[in-house]
A and B are shown apart, each in its own frame.
Chain A
Amino acid sequence: QVQLVQSGAEVKRPGASVKVSCKASGYTLTDFALHWVRQAPGQRLEWMGWIKAGNDNTKYSLKFQGRLTITRDTSASTAYMELSSLRSQDTAVYYCAREASGWSQQATYFDHWGQGTLVTVSS
């Protein structure tokens, strides 16, 4: 069955970077787009960006432009989300989520989610 397993919790200092991994099993990583969504404590879900199926094209939310990098290692069936210049407001649970295939961009949805990775930014 499809599984997305993320790396463990991280504690970072302000100004540092964090790299979270998302290992896919039960399907071929490059066959589906993979998104990253975060949730600050008690807050709404917030979309960050995605890496397309089939190639390494990415799109990022304007909010994270310049700080966010999403990559993929097909040999390891693993996607990565790296966020730099961390600040306390980046403290959140970060999720990877697979985009359902076979639909247009406007009609698609997230059919599988990772378990989440808590990133704490604190001095």
Chain B
Amino acid sequence: SYELTQPPSVSVSLGQTASITCSGDKLGNKYVCWYQQKSGQSPVVVIYQNNKRPSGIPERISGSKSGNTATLTISGTQAMDEADYYCQAWDSSTAVFGGGTKLTVL
């Protein structure tokens, strides 16, 4: 079955830039989206189609992809950005999620 790989955790100092990666076989041929899940809450989409931001998501959150690795970047990280982040792609009409990355803001 298809798999997406994320680092389990990333730490970033307040105001600095955080980068979370997501890699998978032939991910370069797929669209990637990212979900933010704060403790005890439902996921919220923050990036779709690799680099598009839904309305209401701050510009400091961005997405990119190079080859088979997608990256979620949070610039000027704020305390409110502390959450779990999941990448997701489609494989044969099945949604596949990465293992999630816990972002800790120091």
Which A residues have a C-beta under 8 Å from some C-beta of B?
A: 35, 37, 44-47, 59, 61-62, 95, 97, 100, 103, 105-111, 113-116
Contacts and interface: CB of A to CB of B under 8 A. Distances in A.
A95 B42 contact: yes
Contacts of B98: 44
B43 A113 contact: yes
Interface in B20-73: 30-31, 33, 35, 37, 42-45, 48-49, 54
Interface of B: 1, 30-31, 33, 35, 37, 42-45, 48-49, 54, 86, 88, 90, 93-100
A109 B100 contact: no
Given A110-B43, A110-B45, A113-B44, A105 B93 contact: yes
B97 A106 contact: no
Given A45-B37, A111-B54, 5 more contacts: A44-B97, A45-B35, A45-B43, A59-B94, A110-B43
A61 B88 CA distance: 15
B100 A44 contact: yes
B94 A45 contact: no
Contact of B94 (A61, A97, A107, A108): A61
A59 B45 contact: no
Given A100-B48, A109-B33, A109-B48, A116 B97 contact: no
Contacts of B97: 37, 44-47
B42 A107 contact: no
Contacts of B44: 113
